[in-house]
């Protein structure tokens, strides 16, 4: 995600620095950053401005924060003292509260939540493939107050042909909207170790899938979040029309037995359900199955 959106900004003249490590860093130094995009066409950023550690950051104006949630504590601590007073940090991660975590760990006040809709991956060192998704960004301030700096950033993104929307109000509802979808999609594909097609075709699993989304919706409503449309119905239709081989990053992390974002997804729902006294049985089941996977 960071490679694609950062690449789009760099392509259109913004002063962008990429954080990279290992073989990816070596490839970027030698060959530049190659973006293969079904929507924006293929292009290369060469030379790419690079750093290999956060210690090398020098007075950033904007940080696009798109790492996995399990890295928040370590990266947040590494960012302490590296940010200017007015540096803007936009978090584009799974979950509903990563911006609050980063704000707490860094002690920096200008951290704002964002939502990204894109399908992209690093296929090999130095190469980013954008294969689908609407390529949309949404971001805003939690207290629904006007923020001219965020409005300017959205304009900067749009000048770089990035479909970005600054939400003066409703950013928290937008976070929950995506969360309702991703929580079920990630949880079921990871728990069953299957792509969405076979799960969608099993009537009993599909019923549980819908109940999982309803649990997340009830928790959102308990937080005072209201939606103008049938979010569950909308994302069920979206999932029905999705390619049969679709799966989640949580699925890939579980399959490869690496660190994963379970706590930010189903784990958060389980904790909130307990706090609010709302039953989230399907999420508890998914959480337990994934957490104790061999």
Q: What is the mean pLDDT of residues 143-151?
A: 95
List pLDDT tens digits, range 2-26. Answer: 999 999 999 999 999 999 999 999 9
> Using one digit for the tens of pLDDT, what is the confidence trace for 210-220?
999 999 999 99
**Whole-number mean pLDDT of the chain?**
96
- Residue 250: is its pLDDT beyond 80? yes
Q: pLDDT (tens digit, 9 = 90+) per residue, 162-182? A: 999 999 999 999 999 999 999
Q: Indicate whether 294 pLDDT > 70.
A: no
Q: Number of C-alpha atoms within 13 angstroms, CB side, residue 158?
A: 10
Q: Give me 260's structure tokens.
A: 């994963």
Task: Specify the pTM.
Answer: 0.94
67: pLDDT strictly greater than 70: yes
Query: How far, in Å, CA of 130 to CA of 280, rounded?
Result: 34
Task: Please check whether residue 196 is in contact with residue 282, taking contact to mean a CB–CB distance below 8 angstroms.
Answer: no
Task: Give the contacts of 42 (CB within 8 A, at least 6 positions apart).
Answer: 34, 35, 36
What domains appear along the chain, each with residue ranges and CATH number?
A: 2-168 (3.40.50.720), 173-291 (1.10.1040.10)
Q: For residues 292 and 294, what is the distance between their CA atoms, to the nearest angstrom? A: 6
Q: In percent, how much of the chain has pLDDT > 90?
A: 94
């Amino acid at each position: 995600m960071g490679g694609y959106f950062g690449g789009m900004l760099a392509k259109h003249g913004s002063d962008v620095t990429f954080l990279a490590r290992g073989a990816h860093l070596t490839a970027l130094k030698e060959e530049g950053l190659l973006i293969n995009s079904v929507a924006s066409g293929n292009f290369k950023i060469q030379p790419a401005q690079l750093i290999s550690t956060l210690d090398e950051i020098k007075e950033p104006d904007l940080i696009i924060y798109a790492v996995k949630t399990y890295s928040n504590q370590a990266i947040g601590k590494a960012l302490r003292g590296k940010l200017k007073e007015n540096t803007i940090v936009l978090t584009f991660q799974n979950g509903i509260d990563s911006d609050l975590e980063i704000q707490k760990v860094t002690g920096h006040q200008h951290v704002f939540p964002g939502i990204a809709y894109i399908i992209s991956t690093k296929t090999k060192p130095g190469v980013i493939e954008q294969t689908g998704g609407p390529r949309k960004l949404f971001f805003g301030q939690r207290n629904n107050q006007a923020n001219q700096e965020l409005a300017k950033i959205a304009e900067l993104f749009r000048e770089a042909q990035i479909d970005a929307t600054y939400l003066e109000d409703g950013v928290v509802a937008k976070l929950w909207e995506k969360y309702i979808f991703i929580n079920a999609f990630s949880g079921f594909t990871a728990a069953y170790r299957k792509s969405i097609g076979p799960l969608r075709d099993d009537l009993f699993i599909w019923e549980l899938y819908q109940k999982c989304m309803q649990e997340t919706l009830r928790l959102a409503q308990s937080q005072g979040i209201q939606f103008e449309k049938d979010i569950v119905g909308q994302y069920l239709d979206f999932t029905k029309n999705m390619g049969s081989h679709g799966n989640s990053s949580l699925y890939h992390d579980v399959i490869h037995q690496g660190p994963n974002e379970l706590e930010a997804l189903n784990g958060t729902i389980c904790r909130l359900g307990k706090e609010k006294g709302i039953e989230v049985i399907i999420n508890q089941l998914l959480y337990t199955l994934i957490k104790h996977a061999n």
